[in-house]
Structure 1
Amino acid sequence: MNPLVSIVIPFYNDPYVREALESALAQTYKPLEIIVVNDGSERETDILYRLEGAGRIKVVHQPNRGTASALNAGFRLAAGHYAAWLSSDDRFRHDKIERQVRFMQGGGWAISHTAFRLMSGEGIAEKDPILLPEGSMLQFYRSMLLSNTVNGCTVMMERTLFNRMGGFNEKLPYTHDYELWLRTVLSGYPIGYLRVPLTDYRVHSAMGTVKHGAAIERELESVRNTYLPRLKRLIGTLEERT
């Protein structure tokens, strides 16, 4: 019997949420639960109530506290063995959950991420995916020294691991994902990589990385400096073994 998977969608006034929900509902994998965390939205909520009333999704309402808080609320409510994050402006490929569960079970991974495609505000996905270079876990850790090479909306993790790690740091409005991936790796849980594009990542003028670029860069530098010494030690240990 397949394990239950929870898809968590944090949502705040996003006009693209319908596409995200349709992509979650169209997944080939079963059993599945879809949890939308309404983070104080005042717009674009009609579809949430309609799908909730039909029993197709669960909706959690909270005052606007930011993405990290909304993700934590959704992941903590999740009942799945695995949990996945889908931003309300992005889109899963129809077999995303099925292929990633198979990958995680086959490799014994507690957390994994995948390749992805960029798409326009109009929902047109680029032909060529964003792929990490093929290489070892050591090379991946080296890349994490420089930047966040894990797209959060491609991540699936065991819910018990999320609970063990304590969730996302709500004091970090922009880099809560990068900080959690670093904390997870340094706690002894390597992040598996499925080199297949299974998420469409929307690039548009209202996205946070466009509106808050300077603040994101400052916060990224702070997180990097916090974990840099420990990550360098881990890399050094792995280098000694090769």
Structure 2
Amino acid sequence: MKTILLCCLFISSIFANEYYAKLEPLESYQIKSSVLGKVIFSNEEIEGKNSNNSLIVEIDSKVNQIDLEQSRNKLNFLNEMILIETNNYNRLNKVSSKSEFEKDTQKLKIINLKSTKSDLIMKIENLKDTIKNKKLIEESNYIFNIAVKKGDYVNAGTLLYEAKDLSKAKVEIFVPILEIDDIKNKSIYIDGKKSDVKINKIYDIADSTHISAYKVELILENTKTFSRLVKIEFK
């Protein structure tokens, strides 16, 4: 029994710092709609490819564009009105025969116009933001999945597409808490070869599933093949 126990302990110590994990993209994104509207373009041809500054999904913004144009016109009219009423107030203020009530009434008219202008400026900015959010362009990420088609009607929170950052790879392993300090100063071997990879992050709160281990994150450069298993050793 002693021989078997010693053998088991020896095998455990050999493989204590050896792990297998899957190479994952550096980041994965779920792009959800922040607006309501009908999908007028869905770039299904880009699915499974790098985006290269491509339009991925566009939601109809015709009504918003008209509203924006009319709101800008209203803003111009308001500016003219404020200028006219301000000039009127300045002239009125110089006339000694005019009562304070008349002067205050004219001043209040200007204040109300300026308040309306502030509300209109806010509306214009919101419209610009809405229009921008209806045209989704990806610069460089890999388009993993497009969840909507042309003609679909989406609400705020509807998943539009999924994208992944393939510029680097991320590996996550779970290391027993008692071994964390031991691996910090060791070299990292990937598939049996010594690498320049360093520990990127150690989550020093035990995982809910791996209750006696900390999650350790490694970042790998120049990865060409994702979603494959790699062997990670600390020596």
Which TM-score band (shorter chain)?
under 0.3
Q: Give the TM-score normalised by structure 2.
A: 0.17
More helix per residue: 1
> Looking at both structures, which has the greater relative contact order when contacts are Cα pairs under 8 Å and sequence separation is at least 6?
2
Q: Give the TM-score normalised by structure 1.
A: 0.17
More strand per residue: 2
